[in-house]
Amino acid sequence: MYGVRRILAVVDTRKEQHLALNRAIQIAKATDSSLHILAANPKPNAESMERLLVIGREAEAAGIESSCHETWRNNVIETIIHVRQTERCHIVIKDHQPESFLEKTLKTPVDWTLMRKCRVPVLLVKHDRPYTEQNMLATINADPDDAEHQLLNMAIMKNAQAVSQPFAGKLHMATAYPTVMLATQNHLDGKTDREHYQGNCSFFANDYGVGVENIHVRPSPAETMIPSLAKELGIELLIMGTHARTGLSAVTLGNTAEQLTRHIECDLLAVQSKHHMIPLERELEQ
């Protein structure tokens, strides 16, 4: 969301309902962005193109500068990545795609692969409820001894702030910290793990405008804490970080953001640590 000026919305012309398009129109209006609508279709024809043009008229009717594109490049991920690059879009928005039985057992789900490979944030849409004045949740790894996650935390909070402000959303921040059985580090300063995590959260909260009352630090694995907290707070958008995992670990393991796609009922905005640098690079090019 940070630095968004052009949006890529991925649609399926065979469907009657287009959650990703509706969300993209809302965000385009809130951020004064243009919109490119992509139908990743391996067998495009006149009929499918006409359906896409009808879909595109929804954006025009909303006063959004928009264009449409129906194409295919080996598979859906390559198609999205290629069009995102050529159209210079700053965010990809698509419907959440539940994993099939085959994907769960033998291959990486499409949404997981897109989150790993995309050079810009990916918004997976699960519902059509408005974001305006609703609760949003940014989740970070607030371990003060984990320097690798600090850049990712910055990317998460930059994007969380950027998406919450145009919609006057109420931004919450959360982190899970190790339980007594999981804690292995001795900080030698008399502070508990919770105090260390709370302090790091307060640092980010102060920088990104999160109220102290909206910081949530809980002793639990993130995989169980986040869905529970999201449901408790009535969260409409969850902002999380993910890693571009490759090799064997990409086949056998999923990041927390990826694993949670099947356990949450809200939209998910996935960002990587490099994403907060892209808008800065664009500014330097001007």
User: Do the beta carbons of residue 244 and residue 117 sit within 8 Å?
Assistant: yes
- pLDDT value, residue 191: 73
- Alpha-carbon distance 212 to 175, whole Å? 14
- pLDDT value, residue 183: 45
Q: Looking at domain 6-95, does it have CATH number 3.40.50.620? A: yes
- pLDDT value, residue 151: 87
Nearest to 8 by CA among 48, 27, 36, 42: 36
- Of the pLDDT bands very low, low, confident and very high (cuts 50, 70, 90), residue 180 is low
3-state secondary structure of 8: strand
Statement: residue 252 has pLDDT above 70 = no
pLDDT in tens, 109-129: 889 889 988 999 999 999 999
Among residues of the chain, what percentage have pLDDT more than 90? Answer: 62
Statement: residue 146 has pLDDT above 90 = no
Token pair for 257: 């953001």
Nearest to 260 by CA among 218, 215, 216, 222: 222
In the chain, where the domains are located: 6-95, 135-279
Statement: residue 145 has pLDDT above 90 = no
Token pair for 22: 């509706």
Domain 135-279, CATH among 3.20.20.210, 3.30.70.270, 3.40.50.12370, 3.20.20.70: 3.40.50.12370
- Alpha-carbon distance 163 to 266, whole Å? 15
Fold match between domain 6-95 and domain 135-279? yes
